[in-house]
Structure 1
Amino acid sequence: MSALPSTHDPDQRKRLMAAGIGNFMEWFDFAIYGFFATAIGANFFPSSSPTASLLSTLAVYGVAFLMRPVGGMVIGAIGDRRGRRFALMLSVVSMGVGTAMIAILPPYTAIGVAAPILLVLLRCVQGFSAGGEWTGSAAFLVESAPAHRRGLTASVIPTTAALAVSVGAGVALLVETTVPAAAIVSWGWRLPFLAAFPLTLAGLYLRVKLDDTEVFRAIQARGAVSDTPIRAVAQTQRRSIAISFGLSAITVLGFYYIATYVMTFLITTGEMKRFPALTVVAIGAVIYAGLCLMMGAWSDRVGRRPVSLLGGAGLAVCASRPSF
């Protein structure tokens, strides 16, 4: 964790570690589904067409994204009522349990149509907790950070998410180079999902030892904790909500391109083998993580608006395809 913002405050370092490691675990669990989409499709969506099986698996991957804003609102509201610490513990436990249950979920050949239905439900749990994790961790870190280091501190969240994707790709490479191909389809794909249980325990242990932020404790002391935080925000912060949605839609585009689509594109369209494709994803995610820290630190110096505008412009330029 040496890449995290340095501080002489031991409590701040503990908060960074708890939020960063827990967030890493959450996104490792979330990302490995995509790296084993072919094997998962063979187990839960058997079809005479490998393409149809893969598309069904990726569709279930997409279902989790529909649950992310729901998780962000619900767990965020819980954090506003019960505290950031409780919200962080809830998100890490729900993600760990959902991922571990995928690891032991019987295939279609064993329980029939119940298998894909349960897989969809468990992916919904993962998406719900992932949305709550990003929301809760960001609020916790920003409220705990010194005013002049909020950008750098908040960058720990996307940084650890990107590192989780990189490590997930590395784990997929390890499994594919040590487990026979037939065994990967039958049981090898389950190994990274089983790692969710000890990771969950580690993340929960770190978060149980946290104290709530001074900001939340001050709100409690004033008796100003809202019983309906979603309604209160919707009534008073509509413009801020709209801006936040717009910025999020732009900024996460690059991350999800690396984390979800690029490997499928490299293999199916670019006709690249899985090993080099996974290597590209792992390296790309590490570069993304480093840039998150750099941009977070830069935003503390020049402001959030210039950095956001630069990022949006960069995505527009990189996404455009030259006609020559």
Structure 2
Amino acid sequence: MSKPEAMTLAGAAPAMDRPQLSGRDLRRALGSVMIGNWFELFDFIIYGYFAAQIGKAMFPAADPLTSVLASFATYGVGFVMRPVGAIVIGSYGDRYGRKAALVLTMLIMAAATAMTGLIPSYAAIGVAAPLALVACRLLQGFATGGEWGGATAFLVEFAPPGRRGFFGSLQQLSTSLAIVSAIGLALLLNLILSEADLQAWGWRIPFLLGFLVAPLGFWLRAHVAETPAYMSEARAHEVPRAPLREAFVHHSGAIARVLGVTTIWTIGSYIFTTFLATHATQTLGAPAPVVLTGTLAGAIVNIATIPLFGWLSDKVGRKPLLILSALGCLVLAWPLFALVSAYPGLWTVLAVTATGGVLTGIFSGAAPAFLCELLPTRVRYTAMSAGYNAAVMLFGGFAPFISTLLVRETGYAAAPGFYVMAGAALTLVTLLTLRYEPDRYFQDA
């Protein structure tokens, strides 16, 4: 093992001769990642807002709740592939560069999204319909698993000195913009289409529209520069030959901490947005346009919160903000769900989603840079992707399914609040026991 490699594995940051980047370079880097990330997350998230229609088209059943459960189970299947995509594409990105990996994720997502919108219904082709849908969700999950870690590492490694928090928050900002776009399009289609048309063919529109953005995202990513941090590693011959093995042998503790930190983040994000919209309409009986309007307003609150707390994390530190967010989820989750269960309407949905939007927005602002700072550049993509996507698979992807099952088995409409509380407790324990050195792997401070 070479001396520089030994120093890196021991924890010291390699010396970086950081190049001076022009404003044009930074704008192109930001644009390529944010637009591409928006495209991929929109295509992955939109499924949740049409779960009821997809369930009826692909999983016909006498009990509507059973169809929704089957649809949410398929939604969760996509998350099973996220850790696989994380380690395969993450390893590729640590070996050959963030840019090459992010181009690959976009191509896979574009193909899977187009196919999802074109699958015939169960009535037309029988069991082949749900099987094809599951295959598309697996491909989407594979691509998304490689997207998140690459986009986050790319932005944080491009960040000027003292601005890692703000730049990292832009990744989550594009994710929240994807959520708002998904909610907005779902609301529009619910307003302009009849229930019969929405069920027959309207649910396919978002998947086909999302696919149309792919060429722009591909062009931007194909013409962007590699990150300065990765280029420094490449010039110093520090690119690992086996990043997956190195990540799990030398940084398994950091991967576990990434998983623990991410737990409430992924649960809160999917419960307060994707799950709540279907829960309020299918279980609580609230009108879909009312619920989507409230959910959209809450998502806009989340968008306003994310960059603010990303910027603030550069000023006051990231760990205190993450603890504040997790503690808020622990204390407020059950009261919020009890409120919306007792009074399902626009104002209560807005109150719940806005509060959830602030709590998850605080986390989304500070967490991307925080997670990057736990890992060295040479295995950052692989290790961070593995820990983050394992948490998303275990706790977030099946959160709508688990929450729906809790409601059905307990008969208590506010039961999902307890699931959020459990995730918050796990994250708090991780944060309070975690040793955090923000500049250990960065020399820009």
TM-score by length of 1: 0.93
1:23 and 1:161 in contact (8 A); partners too: yes
SS at match of 2:285: coil
Match of 1:246 in 2: 260
Bigger Cα displacement from structure 2, 32-41 vs 259-268: 259-268
1:103 deviates by 0.5
1:271 deviates by 2.1
1:28 corresponds to which of 38, 42, 51: 42
Output the CA distance in 1 between the equivalents of 2:332 and 2:172: 20
Counterpart residue type for residue 296 of structure 1: G
Output the CA distance in 2 between the equivalents of 1:123 and 1:258: 22
For residues 40-79 of structure 1, the aligned pairs below 5 Å read: 40-79=54-93
Match of 1:169 in 2: 183
Match of 1:231 in 2: 245
Counterpart residue type for residue 180 of structure 1: S
How many residue pairs match? The answer is 318
1:31 and 1:259 in contact (8 A); partners too: no
Match of 1:308 in 2: 322
Output the CA distance in 1 between the equivalents of 2:31 and 2:127: 41
Bigger Cα displacement from structure 2, 303-312 vs 261-270: 261-270
Is 1:37 the counterpart of 2:73? The answer is: no
Is 1:283 the counterpart of 2:297? The answer is: yes
Match of 2:224 in 1: 210
Alpha-carbon RMSD: 1.8
Is 1:222 the counterpart of 2:222? The answer is: no
For residues 76-91 of structure 1, the aligned pairs below 5 Å read: 76-91=90-105
Output the CA distance in 2 between the equivalents of 1:250 and 1:38: 26
Output the CA distance in 2 between the equivalents of 1:115 and 1:239: 42
1:27 deviates by 1.2
Match of 1:157 in 2: 171
1:251 deviates by 2.0
Counterpart residue type for residue 32 of structure 2: A
Counterpart residue type for residue 258 of structure 1: F
1:251 and 1:311 in contact (8 A); partners too: no
Output the CA distance in 2 between the equivalents of 1:261 and 1:164: 16
Bigger Cα displacement from structure 2, 153-162 vs 64-73: 64-73
Counterpart residue type for residue 260 of structure 1: T
Output the CA distance in 2 between the equivalents of 1:215 and 1:224: 11
Output the CA distance in 2 between the equivalents of 1:207 and 1:164: 18
Output the CA distance in 2 between the equivalents of 1:42 and 1:265: 16
Runs of 5+ consecutive residues of structure 2 not aligned to the other structure: 1-20, 340-445
Match of 1:16 in 2: 30
Is 1:118 the counterpart of 2:154? The answer is: no
Output the CA distance in 2 between the equivalents of 1:227 and 1:111: 46
Counterpart residue type for residue 24 of structure 2: P
Output the CA distance in 1 between the equivalents of 2:205 and 2:241: 42
SS at match of 1:210: coil
Match of 2:392 in 1: none
Match of 2:106 in 1: 92
Match of 1:104 in 2: 118
Output the CA distance in 1 between the equivalents of 2:326 and 2:83: 21
Match of 2:361 in 1: none
Q: Any idea what the Cα deviations from partners look like across 1:230-274, whole Å, max 9, x if unmatched?
A: 110111112211211111112222211233211122113432110
Counterpart residue type for residue 250 of structure 1: I
Output the CA distance in 2 between the equivalents of 1:51 and 1:252: 24
1:143 and 1:215 in contact (8 A); partners too: yes
Larger Rg: 1 or 2? 2
Counterpart residue type for residue 81 of structure 1: R
SS at match of 1:223: coil
Q: Any idea what the Cα deviations from partners look like across 1:148-200, whole Å, max 9, x if unmatched?
A: 00001000111111111111111111112222221111111111110122211
Output the CA distance in 2 between the equivalents of 1:148 and 1:79: 25
Match of 1:4 in 2: none
1:99 and 1:122 in contact (8 A); partners too: yes
2:281 and 2:288 in contact (8 A); partners too: yes
Is 1:190 the counterpart of 2:218? The answer is: no
